[in-house]
Structure 1
Amino acid sequence: MSLSRLIARIFMVPIGLFLAIMAASIFLGFALNSMYGGPGMHHDPAVENIFAIFSGFVIAFPLGHFAFYPAILGLILAEFFSWRSIWIYLGYGLALSFFITHAPGEPVDALAIALDARAMAAGLVGGFVYWLISGRGAGIVKRSLDNRPQNF
């Protein structure tokens, strides 16, 4: 086992998770801004974009708080079983974002469906960003243990 590969995985998994949460939150900030719009923007695109990015950073803290432990559980499984498929990370991001943002007793109306659809799209963005940064090399520690030279 290469120590440099182990250190790289130890750093890349948390970095990938952090950037995935940030990307999903910023995407959700833009999606919610398109639904509601900010206060007093007067249709200035630069101000609207700054407000959407700022609201994405604000959204990142509660979403990251609720998503952290389930995401870590899924990422440990992905590392252990060497899952590298983009579809696994997209599906997990989709399911995770739905269960985090959907309240069990919430009424089913057009607003709730629109919010859930935007949250699930943000989960897809987060899953893609994680796969792009860390998911493509999942299980590299296990693979290096299997490919070590045999002593004869």
Structure 2
Amino acid sequence: MFNPDHDHAEIPFIDMQKLLSQESTDSESELAKLHFACKEWGFFQLVNHGVSSSLMDKVKTEIQDFFNLAMEDKKKLWQTPRDVEGFGQAFVVSEDQKLDWADIFFMTTLPVEMRRPHLFPNVPSPFRETLEVYSLEVKNLA
């Protein structure tokens, strides 16, 4: 939402507890904020959602640890041809743009039957277990 006291717009925050509140004024107000965020922004940050901050911190730390692994270790999870899942590099291929390089890791975690058999079992522990717990928490939130 735009705050005239700042020179920039702020990403909308939606409070899950207020959305689920028994107080109609809280839930209606938060629902209006959700509508605005979806319509005007297309995204928002959800707070008070029930996923523990310690789990989210653990996921962030283990993702950083994963990207800090030696390239040799990350290549064990390399993307296969015509598959976006796995570790790889993405960049824009255009003569009109500067080359924008990024290391990426994409993997389906749920539903379990959609996992790539060459990926999930090979994700280093404890990152694999943390992804398992986090995926289930986010699924329950959804």
Higher RCO (Cα < 8 Å, 6 or more apart): 1
Could you tell me the TM-score, scaled by structure 2's length? 0.30
Higher relative strand content: 2
User: Considering only CA atoms, is the larger Rg found in Structure 1 or Structure 2?
Assistant: 2
Could you tell me the TM-score, scaled by structure 1's length? 0.28
